[in-house]
Amino acid sequence: MARVKQPQYGTPDEENPLWTEEDFAKAIPFPELARQMGWKMPGRPKAAVTKVPTNLRLDPDILAYFKADGEGWQTRINAVLAKHVKAANAAASRKKKAS
């Protein structure tokens, strides 16, 4: 039985010729092509406001409280902190107006 010779990596063939400068000039990045074709990109859509990864040390009982409700505990901690910041900013604004 004759063994079929495999083409070497990077060797052009009829179905996959080498690209010319013109081919590269006409090429469209995949995300752009996907948008033009109306394809859905895999994964989660990018959020308007992205979050910053950080390390945060919490008391064990605080962490246990938020983890007790299961998945989403980081989001819940973020919501509590956001609510606190909003209230603190409102209080500071009222204090500034009263001065």
Give the residue numbers spanning the domain of 37: 21-43+55-98
pLDDT at 80: 97
Task: Look at residue 15 and tell me if it is in a domain.
Answer: no
Q: Is the pTM of this model over 0.85?
A: no
Task: Look at residue 6 and tell me if it is in a domain.
Answer: no
Q: What is the pLDDT along the chain (99 residues), one digit of tens a residue?
A: 667 777 667 666 778 888 899 999 999 998 889 889 998 877 887 888 888 999 999 999 999 999 999 999 999 999 999 999 999 999 998 888 887
Question: What is the distance between the alpha carbons of residues 46 and 43, in angstroms, rounded to a whole number?
Answer: 9
DSSP 39: P
Domain count within the chain? 1
Q: Where are the alpha helices (H) located in 1-99, listed in sequence order? A: 21-26, 30-37, 60-67, 73-98
Task: Look at residue 16 and tell me if it is in a domain.
Answer: no
Q: Is the Cβ–Cβ distance between 81 and 88 less than 8 Å?
A: no
